[in-house]
Amino acid sequence: MDYTSVLLSLFIFVVSAIYLLRQAIKRIRFINMVDKLPGPPAYPVVGNALDFMVPRNQLMKVFHNRTAKYGPIFRTWAGPLAELHLTRPEHVELIMNSLKHIDKSMAYTFLQPWLGTGLLTGTGAKWHTHRKMITPTFHFKILDVFVEIFGEKCQILVEKLQKKADGNEFDIYPFITHCALDIICETAMGTQINAQNESNSNYVKAVYSISELTMDRTTKPWLHPQFIWNLTERGVRYKKDLSILHGFTKKVIAERKSLRNSEATKSNKNEEDDEFLGKKKRLAFLDLLLDASEQGHKLTDTEIREEVDTFMFEGHDTTTAGICWSLFMLGNHPEHQEKVAQELDSIFCGSNDPPTMRDLNEMKYLERVIKESLRLFPSVPFIGRYLKEDTTFDGYLVPAGCLVNLEIFHVHRCADQFPNPEKFDPDNFLPERVQGRHPYSYVPFSAGPRNCIGQKFALLEEKTVLSSILRNYRIESLEKLQDLTLMNELILRPESGIRVRLYPRNNESS
């Protein structure tokens, strides 16, 4: 070997050694900073991942016990990845209110095969552009049109429940699921799938299956590598579910674009907003995306599918859970249910008409019931972010590169914000009580730059469904909170569903 080759080899060796040494020092600093936080003992390589080697229905208990032992701020290790857990509103605010820490955590990459890089999972310039473009689509004129659809689908729900209003036990969760799916398909895509009349929906099965599989993969680091995941039975099932979900959305988008191209009224598209959003034509979320794409915000079919899939997932599963938890709580608290019934009687005065926007805005007590149910059972109990720079939380300097778990479920149970936090008390949301709390003590729809743009849509839908049921039926829950097993599979739901008895309200004596 000549002299030049020796020097070049030595140079490469020294540079490589310096690089590796710097990386090792950086890693040691990172580990030392993270391990100053309280947290459970971690094992080499796997970290705390073995904690999740329990049945699926025990995962929520693992999360809860860990928080009770190490909270309000602690760390865990998911293999080599450090995760910071925050359970206080003032700590959560530092992340939610920041434009620096808006990137979602690595767990959300496991949703990307399904939802792509839409509003839920995306970041950077694309996320900012789409957020700015989509936010105006939820203005009040569009929501007013959506309320009509809510009422139509709820009428079907009331008729379906009539067969169950005989005092016998049944699970109301599937009924709400299919109603919410009918609503979201027509509002998001402008199509009817009649899930309430054809309840054996492949789409519903695929949504639940893919949610379960995603959660399973998230908690098992050995399933993170794509090539390993693809070889497993779970990975094969995931791919099959994905083809069902994407196939349905792609088909609807293609049909909608074809219909729009053939409409003779397309020339009216540039009319003033008031005329365009009137009774002449019902617009779906998909139409609004296609309009935006035609008017300068060029969106590919893939980008449109990503946003529609995101709206379908977030707008169907989360509202179903919110409605069902409200029914569960009202079924356990007849005194609050009676207050809701009296409020509805005063609004509708015996009428069977579907609720208008004005009616929904008058449902003040029902709104407090919904909010209190979402406090106790937030549809999304945890949110994951990525820490972009070193940040101090309660005296702990946490290094950039940590994953951050915002534990909404536990934030909502801070005793200094909600005295007697496990008690169901709709008056927690009286204006005077709200003013006295930390603004980030109640964040079921997140908050800050990445808050949920569909929260008004969700609240109106939940009011419509709940009022439609409670105007017609009295509900009794068969289980108490202590009887339930909570399942955290992207959405917080009860393992056994919501077991109830239903009675016709108009047959009861006053």
pLDDT tens string 466-501: 999 999 999 999 999 889 999 887 789 999 999 999
> Which of 81-95, 125-139, 389-403 has the lowest average pLDDT?
125-139
Distance CA 465, CA 28 (A): 54
Q: Cα dihedral angle (376, 320, 341, 328), rounded to 10 degrees?
A: -50
Query: What's 507's DSSP letter?
Result: G
For position 205, what pLDDT does the model report? Answer: 82
Averaged pLDDT for residues 142-169: 93
How would residue 300 be classed by pLDDT, with cut points 50, 70 and 90?
confident
pLDDT of residue 15: 79
| pLDDT value of position 392 | 95
Question: Which residue intervals of 35-55 are DSSP H helices?
Answer: none
Cα separation, 6 vs 283, in Å, equals 72
What was the pLDDT predicted at 410? Answer: 97
Would you say the pTM of this structure is higher than 0.95?
no
Q: Write the secondary structure of 88-120 as one string of H (helix), E (strand) and C (coil).
A: CHHHHHHHHCCCCCCCECHHHHHHHHHHCCCCC
The 10s digit of each residue's pLDDT in 386-432 is 999 999 999 999 999 999 999 999 999 999 999 999 999 999 999 99
Return d(Cα 284, Cα 266) in angstroms, integer.
Answer: 15
Show me where the domains of the chain are located: 81-507
pLDDT at 268 over 80: no
At 308 the three-state DSSP class reads: helix
pLDDT in tens, 302-326: 888 998 888 888 888 899 999 999 9
Cis peptide before 504 (omega within 30 of 0): no
Backbone angles phi, psi at 474, to 5 degrees: -100, 140
Q: 233-262 and 173-189 helices cross at what angle (nearest 10)?
A: 40
Is residue 279 scored above 50 in pLDDT? no
d(CA 355, CA 351): 10
CATH 3.40.640.10 for domain 81-507 = no
Residue 38's closest CA among 90, 86, 106?
A: 86
